[in-house]
Amino acid sequence: MAVANLTFNQKRICLGIALGVAAICLANFELGWSLFGPLDPKKVFIGSVVALALIQHFVGPTLREVQEHRDAKRGA
């Protein structure tokens, strides 16, 4: 599925999943859970934040799409 063919909600779901992964990586780093075995938690967290930024840039909805969705929801 091409990125251009994703609906607004599908784009939001992709961002939500990436944000959830970044949150788990942050908790792993801060709380010392060792969820990723021998990998350095700090590097895993940095990688997840970089991935989140890339997903936001290339997959995430644009500001125009967000405004159109908000206006359509309000009935304007």
pLDDT digits (tens, 9 = 90+) for 13-66: 999 999 999 999 999 999 999 999 999 999 999 999 999 999 999 999 999 999
Q: For residue 37, is it within any domain?
A: yes
Distance CA 9, CA 52 (A): 17
36 C-beta neighbours (distance < 10 Å), count? 15
- For residue 44, the model assigns a pLDDT of 96
Burial call 48-68: b when 16+ CB within 10 Å, e when fewer: beeebeebeeebbbeeeeeee
Q: For residue 41, is it within any domain?
A: yes
Q: For residue 17, is it within any domain?
A: yes
Are 55 and 15 in contact, with CB atoms under 8 Å apart? yes
Q: For residue 12, is it within any domain?
A: yes
Q: For residue 21, is it within any domain?
A: yes
Q: Domains in the chain: how many in total?
A: 1
Residue 62 belongs to what domain range? 8-74
Angle between helices 41-58 and 8-31 (to 10 degrees): 170
- For residue 75, the model assigns a pLDDT of 85
